[in-house]
Amino acid sequence: MMQRSPITTPPFSAEIPLPPVSHARFAIGDVVRHRMFDFRGVIFDVDPIFANSDEWYDAIPEKLRPPKDQPFYHLLAENTESSYVAYVSQQNLVPDDSDEPIDHPAIAGLFGDYEDGKYPLRREHRH
């Protein structure tokens, strides 16, 4: 009868480096303003690090291109001409202190009424 040797795992000599941990400064429902461009919006999703296409990232002028290892926020955004969805790095957002609601057609589907500077997420969208 043939004896089987126990399965062993070779020791690992190198650790796999983890990406730096960034903490999101803003939460879903917060109203924010872009630091450089004239638009504001309400946050509806957060990526802990950049999670868009390389094509999108490369379209940003190199001098303005933010590092990818920070939170990126999905916004229901508005400016004086239109409403749209924006994807913005944490370094380019500041709290909006205007105390004005955002005028975007998708807000009612995700959030309750604007109060105290933010939008509460509708119950059916909470995890």
What is residue 94's predicted lDDT score, i.e. its pLDDT? 98
How far apart are alpha carbons 77 and 39 in whole angstroms?
A: 7
Q: How confident is the model at residue 3 (pLDDT cuts 50, 70, 90)?
A: low
Instruction: Read off the pLDDT band of 123 (50, 70, 90).
Output: confident
Query: What pLDDT, on a 0 to 100 scale, did the predictor assign at position 24?
Result: 94
**Residues 88, 52 contacting (CB under 8 angstroms):** no
**Kindly report the CA angle at 33 between 36 and 65, in degrees rounded to 5?**
40
On whether the CB atoms of residues 70 and 91 are closer than 8 A, the answer is: yes
Handedness of CA 20, 24, 122, 83 (dihedral sign): negative
Whether the per-residue pLDDT at 116 is higher than 80: the answer is yes
Q: Report the residue count for the chain.
A: 127
Q: What mean pLDDT do residues 92-116 have?
A: 96
Q: Identify the band that residue 14 occupies on the pLDDT scale cut at 50, 70 and 90.
A: low
Q: What pTM, to 2 d.p., does this model score?
A: 0.81
**CA–CA separation, 75 and 78 (whole Å):** 9
Give the CA distances from residue 43 to residues 14, 57, 95, 97, in Å, rounded to whole numbers and listed in that order.
39, 20, 11, 15
Domain ranges, ordered by start, for the chain: 31-125
Which residue type does 48 have? P
